[in-house]
Each structure stands twice: as structure tokens, then as C-alpha cells.
Amino acid sequence: MNFLDDLFERRSRQLAQRSSRRGVLKQLGGLLVGAAAVPLLPVARAVAAPQAAPKAPKEMGDESDCDYWRYCAIDGFLCSCCGGTKNSCPPGTEMSPITWIGTCRNPADGRNYVISYNDCCGKSSCGICLCQRDEGDRPPYRSDKTNDINWCLGTASAVYHCSTAIVVGVALDKGAK
């Protein structure tokens, strides 16, 4: 019955994932006017873990799974499935410097982290592990919170390939998005 399994897996993906160009990558800050700007992040820079600490920083879960904690506000193909990782681009692509910031809770330590969703650009749709999590998504007029925009901006090519999720700090408060 492989045909059937296959079908339903596909349908499931379609239903759950194809329904929107999930924000892929989004933009720092709210009202950018006239030219690209780099607004302040709602971020307290995380202290690097002490070398001799008895405990090490920890994450849990599968970074190629849409449910992975960092992907709370991602939308697009997971670079982890495309030859990249959760925080690096597949070979031969270019990471977009302009991103949208999400705030995700790391279940391992209970902290909220600011996650930068940097797109990898310059090759066409990776096509693998399409992941749509619209939590906190807003329409494109709210550009700091939207995932319906192609964030391959400021890159040599505007062609979207996949999305990463990079820890850029600990969130000051849960509400910061």
C-alpha cells in the first residue's frame, strides 16, 4: 500500500504547508522608510557559555523537522533538508543579510530566543521540507512580521532557495516578536 501512504503523506503536506508563502525571512524593524535600515533588536546579547561550566547549552529535537523549536515563525524550505543546516546555507547559495526576527522558546532551557530567519538565495526552490508555521505572522504591510514576502533582498540574486533559523540572542521578554 505504498501508493496510498505516499498519497496521504503528500496530501497532508499540501494541506498543512502549501497554503502560503510562509514568511521565509523577514525584516528587522517596523517602518523602514526610503532605504534599508538596521533597527535595534529587542535582544539581550547572550553571554557565551563559560568554558568550564558544568552544564552545556542544550537544544532538543530534529532540526529537519518543521516542529523544531527554532522554526516557530519560519516559512519556507528548511535548509537543514537542502544541504545546509539550521543555521547555515547549502553549498553555492548566499545568505540574505536582511531578515525577519522571531521569538521562539527553547524547550530545553525554557528561555525565549531571538531567531533570525536568513534566507539562502541564488538557486531555485530547494523543494524539500516545506515548513509553514504562521504563528505571529502578519500581512506584508507589517513587514517586520510578515512571511509572505521574498526576503532574498540585498543578495546578488533574488531567487529564493531555503530558510535558516539562527540564534542571535536571548529575548528580553516573551512578547518581543
Residues with catalytic function = 100, 119
The site that binds a copy of itself (CB under 8 A) totals a number of residues, namely 4
Sole binder of another protein in the list 52, 101, 119, 141 (CB under 8 A):
141
When asked if residue 7 is in the footprint of a copy of itself (CB under 8 A), the reply is yes
Query: Order of strands across the sheet with 166-171?
Result: 43-44, 166-171, 112-117, 100-105
When asked if residue 18 is in the footprint of a copy of itself (CB under 8 A), the reply is no
Sole binder of a copy of itself in the list 1, 2, 3, 34 (CB under 8 A):
3
Query: Is the sign of the CA dihedral 174, 132, 144, 121 positive or negative?
Result: positive
When asked if residue 34 is in the footprint of another protein (CB under 8 A), the reply is yes
Task: Give 7 or 38: the residue with its C-beta nearer to a copy of itself.
Answer: 7
When asked if residue 90 is in the footprint of another protein (CB under 8 A), the reply is yes
What distance in Å separates the CA atoms of residue 111 and residue 106, rounded to the nearest whole number?
A: 6
The partner residues of 102 in beta bridges, in order of sequence, read: 115
Sole binder of another protein in the list 42, 150, 172, 176 (CB under 8 A):
150
When asked if residue 167 is in the footprint of another protein (CB under 8 A), the reply is yes
Looking only at the bridges linking them, the beta strands covering 166-171 and 130-132 are unpaired
What distance in Å separates the CA atoms of residue 169 and residue 172, rounded to the nearest whole number?
A: 9
Smallest distance, another protein to C-beta of residue 40, A: 16
- 524550505: which residue's cell? 77
The residues in 61-80 that bind another protein, with binding defined as CB under 8 A, are 64, 66-67, 69, 72, 77-78, 80
What distance in Å separates the CA atoms of residue 177 and residue 160, rounded to the nearest whole number?
A: 23
